[in-house]
Amino acid sequence: MPKKSTYIYGCKPKHYQKLVRDKIPEKIKNNNEEPITRILDENEYKKELEKKLYEEYIEVISAKGEEKLQELADMIEVMKYLAYLENISLEEIIKISEKKNEKRGSFKEKIYLEGVKNEQIQN
């Protein structure tokens, strides 16, 4: 008899092995499929959020138009929970960003640094 982790009702399960939004298992059930899930511990959760942030980054740079906006929203959602793990809100991170902008500027001016000349050439 096949192991349940390998086969469910005689069918090989799809393997996703990734953090998903809370309502995804419900959507899978509504599609007459059975999700195989577990709850992550804090260390796994942080690691998976970081992997998800990278996944969302790839999706953002690959997307165009409305899809890009949706992927940016996904990225913000992941950032919100990474901030939560650091005991800080996304709003507080935005305040930190604004302070940093006051000190060092933002990216609004589109400045691209190509190099720095060193005027003190030693003979």
Q: What is the pLDDT of residues 20-49, one digit of tens each?
A: 999 999 999 999 999 999 999 999 999 999
pLDDT at 81: 97
Residue 14: per-residue pLDDT: 75
Phi, psi (deg, nearest 5) at residue 19: -70, 135
- pLDDT tens-place string over residues 78-107: 999 999 999 999 999 999 999 999 999 999
Residues whose CB falls within 8 Å of the CB of residue 49, separated by 6 or more in sequence, listed in order: 19, 78, 81, 82, 85
pLDDT at residue 8 is higher than 60: no
The total number of residues shown for the chain amounts to 123
Instruction: Write down the pLDDT at residue 118.
Output: 87
Instruction: Spell out the alpha helix ranges (H) of the chain.
Output: 24-30, 42-62, 65-85, 90-104
Q: Tokens standing for 114?
A: 């190509």
Contact 90, 76 (CB under 8 A): yes
Query: Which among 22, 87, 86, 19 is positioned nearest to 53, based on CA atoms?
Result: 19
What pTM value is reported for the model? 0.78
CA distance 74 to 94: 17
Average pLDDT over residues 108-114: 95
At residue 121, the pLDDT reads: 65
Average pLDDT of every residue of the chain: 90
How far is it, in rounded angstroms, from Cα 31 to Cα 47? 29
Q: Where are the domains of the chain?
A: 1-38, 39-104
